[in-house]
Amino acid sequence: MSYELCKKVRELEPYEPISGTYRVRLDANESFFDMPDEIRGEIRDIIDRTAFNRYPDPTAKKLNEAFASYYKISPDNVTATNGSDEMLYLLASAMLQKGSRVVVTDPDFSMYAFYSFLSENEILTYRKDEYLNIDVDALISFIKENKADMLIFSNPCNPTGCGIKAEDARKLVDSVGDCLVVLDEAYMDFWDQSLISEAADHDNLIVLKTASKAVGCAALRLGFAVANKTITRALRAVKSPYNVNSLSQAIGECIYRHVDMLEKSRDEIIKSRSELYKGLYGLILNYKLTSSIYMPCANFVFMKDENAGDMFRYLLSEGIAVRYFKNAGALRITAGTDEENTELLAALERYIHENVVKINR
Ligand X SMILES: *Cc1c(COP(=O)(O)O)cnc(C)c1O
Binding stretches for ligand X (CB under 6 A): 29, 83-85, 109, 154, 158, 184, 186, 210, 212-213, 218, 223
User: Residue 254: what residue type?
Assistant: C
Residue closer to ligand X, measured from CB, 158 or 246: 158
Burial class (CB in 10 A: 0-12, 13-18, 19+), 148: buried
* b/e map 69-81, b = 16+ CB within 10 Å: ebbebbbebbbbb
The H-or-E segment that residue 127 falls in is strand 122-127
Smallest distance, ligand X to C-beta of residue 199, A: 16
Smallest distance, ligand X to C-beta of residue 211, A: 7
**Distance, CA of 205 to CA of 167 (rounded, Å):** 14
Residue closer to ligand X, measured from CB, 113 or 348: 113
Smallest distance, ligand X to C-beta of residue 318, A: 25
Residue 279 contacts by C-beta under 8 Å, 6 or more apart in sequence? Answer: 341, 345
Smallest distance, ligand X to C-beta of residue 172, A: 17
Residue closer to ligand X, measured from CB, 173 or 183: 183
For the chain, helix, strand, coil in percent to 5 are 45, 15, 40
Contact 275, 341 (CB under 8 A): yes
Residue 341 contacts by C-beta under 8 Å, 6 or more apart in sequence? Answer: 272, 275, 276, 279, 335
SS3 state at 273: helix
Residue closer to ligand X, measured from CB, 284 or 328: 328
Residue closer to ligand X, measured from CB, 254 or 289: 254
Alpha helices in the chain (DSSP H): 7-10, 37-49, 61-70, 83-92, 110-118, 136-145, 166-175, 229-238, 246-256, 259-286, 308-317, 338-351, 357-360
Smallest distance, ligand X to C-beta of residue 319, A: 23
Torsion of CA 298, 304, 307, 308, to 10 degrees: 30
The two beta strands, 300-304 and 292-293, are: antiparallel
Residue 261 contacts by C-beta under 8 Å, 6 or more apart in sequence? Answer: 36, 39, 255
Residue closer to ligand X, measured from CB, 150 or 356: 150
Smallest distance, ligand X to C-beta of residue 217, A: 9
Residue closer to ligand X, measured from CB, 184 or 343: 184
Residue closer to ligand X, measured from CB, 154 or 307: 154
Residue closer to ligand X, measured from CB, 84 or 232: 84
Which residue of the chain is nearest ligand X when measured via CB?
83
Smallest distance, ligand X to C-beta of residue 207, A: 12
Contact 177, 143 (CB under 8 A): no
Smallest distance, ligand X to C-beta of residue 251, A: 15
CA 262 remoteness from chain centre = 18
Smallest distance, ligand X to C-beta of residue 61, A: 20
